[in-house]
Amino acid sequence: MSSLTDAINARVLMELTRPITIARGILQSGAAQYPIQGVIYFFENPSLWPIYLRLIPPILIVHISVFVSVFSMLFLLNISVAMCCCGPFGLFVGTGVTAQEANFITSYILDNYLIPRPMDSLFDDILCREGLEKVVIPGKLKRVVGPTFGDKLWENSLWAPLTFPGTLYSTLRPVVLSSIPIIGPMALSFNSAVAKGNSFEKRYYRLTRLRDRQVRYLIKEREGDYWSFGFVATLLESVPLLGSFFYFTNQIGGALLAAKYYKEGRTEF
């Protein structure tokens, strides 16, 4: 009973101090510089260049295709909604929201379908260069055989009635937020940047075999860090034609940030 009470108290305290934690992460973590450090690291290590050259075609094709499609379909809609909520500033808000939507779709396609293994290998390589072989090697050896497609289908069908409300909430939440004047787009932008920053740390979670509960705790603890990283990473990937290059270097920056956390001991629970 006491352990349950302690857990509840810890969660309440975390939520109460969340604004302070976010502000401290933004102001003190220095995470915003790591996407830039990823670019510098790339040019300082020519051995990484062949890896990037092999990945240029799929990354570039996806970036251009998604950006053209998203801007042609959603740009005017986002601008209209944003201008109704924010007035003349809606032009900038709508453009930013559209770019974030395009970045989200691009990252999802690349991370899940086209180049997850090469990017994971890049992440591992950077960690090893930073002296974290003891994280990478055991993480690679601890292979877990995932469920088959049939098992996934059966499990999803079995739990669908229970998970549907949460899925529906996650789907509709961005729509609801975007309809709230001023505060809504800001909250949506914040959540998108946090998710973007967190996406570059997922490989570290897998290497260290963190549980979902531990990952959620880390995200809460590092919201300010991830927002800073994700905000800069999104800006870089929004640069026309160079977005594919910055997507690659952001992965380097994410690995450098993970190495920083490890060396600082910020991996305990």
Whether 154 contacts 90, CB under 8 Å: no
Long-range CB pairs of 238-246, under 8 A, 24+ apart, other chains included: 238/99, 238/102, 238/103, 240/67, 243/63, 243/67, 243/106, 244/56, 244/59, 244/60, 244/62, 244/63, 245/52, 246/35, 246/39
Phi and psi at 95, nearest 5°, equal -65, -45
User: How far apart, in Å, do the first and last CA atoms of the chain sit?
Assistant: 20
Distance between CA atoms of residues 29 and 146, nearest Å:
35
Q: Report pLDDT for 18.
A: 73
Q: Report pLDDT for 149.
A: 47
Identify residue 157 by its one-letter amino acid code: S
What does the pLDDT profile of the chain (269 residues) look like in tens digits? 556 676 666 666 666 677 777 777 778 888 899 999 999 999 999 999 998 888 888 888 888 888 899 888 888 888 888 788 777 777 887 887 788 788 778 877 877 777 778 888 899 999 999 988 888 887 666 554 455 545 555 555 555 565 556 555 555 566 566 566 666 667 777 777 888 888 889 889 888 888 888 888 888 888 889 999 999 998 898 887 788 899 899 999 999 999 998 888 765 54
Q: Report pLDDT for 226.
A: 92
Q: Report pLDDT for 157.
A: 58
Identify residue 108 by its one-letter amino acid code: Y
Q: Report pLDDT for 164.
A: 53
Q: Report pLDDT for 269.
A: 41
pTM (predicted TM-score): 0.72
Element (H, E) at 60: helix 49-86
